[in-house]
């Protein structure tokens, strides 16, 4: 019997990168997976189905609270329960110093990288509270802990995800629901696709392990935190960063 047999997992931003790896790994462990994204995630569903798993795609813009509510409702409608949620959808946003950062860019990154986590958690917790069990993993970053020049919105949003996670964890700790943040360093995903090669080399050099991370390496941590193996872990920030924050 697989670890997550009979369980249901919801992953946002699951059409690409880290979210896709998380969706695939939940499925490998036997969970039914709701693959959600703003873009088409049907290919991920097909990959899961071809491997003998169960998955559905539901398109949702996590910056819209109504769509987050519908996403959770649809997950329950289709699969009957919600055991795990990985609130992963996110964007890189503008690259500008604070004085030059646009007001629109600020609003956008707060909507997609921070407000979305509140919206999704609100409705996920509503469902999990009824069940009396559940585990949520929010996608933070090393930039949940330190700054980086020219990404004030991203850094602020990712820092705030940690506080939101800690607060919700306290509220539901005694009710069988655990909530944690994972903090990847730079992971080789489409999010980094527009980087010139010098910038990429520079990023690699910032990781003591000497390379960028892989989406699968982040997914392994999400799976562990979701599982009962992490039954005493809640409100935590777990880095998966090749030694980045140890420097
Ligand atoms: P990615 O671009 O490969 O995937 C992100 C997915 O989110 C895409 O499929 C995109 O369509 C989706 N998305 C974007 N806006 C959305 C919206 N409004 N509603 C629903 N879906 C939306 O990027 P990734 O690298 O896999 O990033 C996933 C998460 O990991 C993000 O939260 C990102 O901040 C975080 N992260 C990434 C890195 C990295 O180096 N790649 C490092 C630390 C944290």
Q: pLDDT tens for residues 63-82?
A: 999 999 999 999 999 999 99
Would 154 be classed as within a structural domain? yes
Residue 8 confidence (pLDDT) above 90: yes
How far is ligand 1, taken at its centre, from the CA of residue 1, in Å?
32
Would 2 be classed as within a structural domain? no
CATH (domain of 118):
3.40.50.720
- Phi, psi torsion values for 139, nearest 5 degrees: -90, 105
Most informative mutation of 14, 20, 89 for ligand 1 (most atoms within 8 A of CB): 89
Q: What is the pLDDT of residue 193?
A: 82
How far is ligand 1, taken at its centre, from the CA of residue 155, in Å?
14
In ligand 1, the atom with minimum distance to the C-alpha of 113 is: 32
Residue 235 confidence (pLDDT) above 90: yes
Residue 192 pLDDT level (bands cut at 50, 70, 90): confident
Would 191 be classed as within a structural domain? yes
Q: What is the pLDDT of residue 112?
A: 98
Would 127 be classed as within a structural domain? yes
Residue pLDDT, tens place only, 117-167: 999 999 999 999 999 999 999 999 999 999 999 999 999 999 999 999 999
The mean pLDDT value for 10-32 works out to 98
Residue 191 pLDDT level (bands cut at 50, 70, 90): confident
**What residue numbers bound the domain in which 222 lies?**
8-239
Residue written as tokens 């969706």? 23
The protein residue whose alpha carbon is closest to atom 2 in ligand 1 is 191
Residue written as tokens 């903090």? 183
Question: What does pLDDT average to over the chain?
Answer: 97
- Ligand 1 pocket by Cβ (under 6 Å): 12-13, 15-19, 37-39, 61-63, 88-91, 112, 139, 141, 184, 186-187, 189-192
Instruction: Count the neighbouring beta carbons within 10 Å of the beta carbon of residue 219.
Output: 25
Write down the catalytic residue from 119, 154, 186, 238.
154
Q: Is 154 assigned a catalytic role?
A: yes
pTM listed for this prediction: 0.98
The mean pLDDT value for 192-212 works out to 92
Would 195 be classed as within a structural domain? yes
Residue 92 pLDDT level (bands cut at 50, 70, 90): very high
- 62, 37 in Cβ contact below 8 A? no
**Among 26, 32, 38, residue whose Cα is nearest residue 68:** 38
Does an H or E element contain 119, and which? helix 116-131
Would 245 be classed as within a structural domain? no
The protein residue whose alpha carbon is closest to atom 3 in ligand 1 is 17
- 186, 192 in Cβ contact below 8 A? yes
Nearest-angstrom CA–CA distance, 53 and 180: 26
Q: CA of 150: how far to CAs of 112, 184, 209, in Å?
A: 18, 19, 25
Tokens of 41: 């995630």
The protein residue whose alpha carbon is closest to atom 12 in ligand 1 is 13
Nearest-angstrom CA–CA distance, 5 and 53: 11
The mean pLDDT value for 108-125 works out to 99
Q: What is the pLDDT of residue 194?
A: 81
Q: What is the pLDDT of residue 1?
A: 80
Would 244 be classed as within a structural domain? no
E-strand ranges in 3-152 read 8-12, 32-37, 55-59, 84-87, 134-139
Kind of pairing between the strands at 177-184 and 8-12:
unpaired
Q: What is the pLDDT of residue 195?
A: 83
Kind of pairing between the strands at 134-139 and 32-37:
unpaired
Would 247 be classed as within a structural domain? no
Number of structural domains the chain divides into: 1
């Amino acid at each position: 019997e697989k670890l997550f047999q009979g369980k249901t997992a919801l992953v946002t931003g699951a059409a690409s990168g880290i979210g896709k790896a998380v969706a695939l790994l939940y499925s490998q462990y036997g969970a039914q997976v709701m693959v959600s994204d703003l873009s088409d995630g049907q290919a991920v569903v097909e990959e899961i189905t071809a491997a003998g798993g169960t998955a559905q795609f539901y398109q949702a813009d996590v910056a819209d609270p109504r769509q987050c509510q519908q996403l959770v409702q649809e997950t329950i409608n289709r699969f009957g329960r919600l055991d795990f949620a990985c609130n992963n959808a996110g964007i890189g946003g503008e690259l500008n110093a604070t004085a030059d950062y646009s007001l629109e860019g600020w609003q956008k990154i707060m909507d997609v990288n921070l407000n979305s986590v509140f919206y999704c958690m609100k409705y996920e917790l509503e469902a999990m509270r009824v069940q009396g069990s559940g585990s949520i993993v929010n996608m933070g970053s090393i930039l949940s802990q330190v700054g980086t020049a020219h990404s004030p919105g991203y850094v602020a949003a990712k820092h705030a995800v940690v506080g939101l996670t800690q607060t919700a964890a306290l509220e539901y700790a005694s009710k069988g629901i655990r909530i944690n943040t994972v903090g990847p360093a730079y992971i080789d995903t489409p999010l980094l696709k527009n980087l010139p090669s010098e910038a990429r080399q520079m990023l690699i050099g910032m990781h003591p392990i000497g390379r960028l991370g892989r989406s699968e390496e982040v997914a392994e941590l999400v799976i562990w935190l979701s599982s009962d193996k992490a039954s005493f872990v809640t409100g935590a920030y777990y880095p998966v960063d090749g030694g980045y924050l140890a420097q």
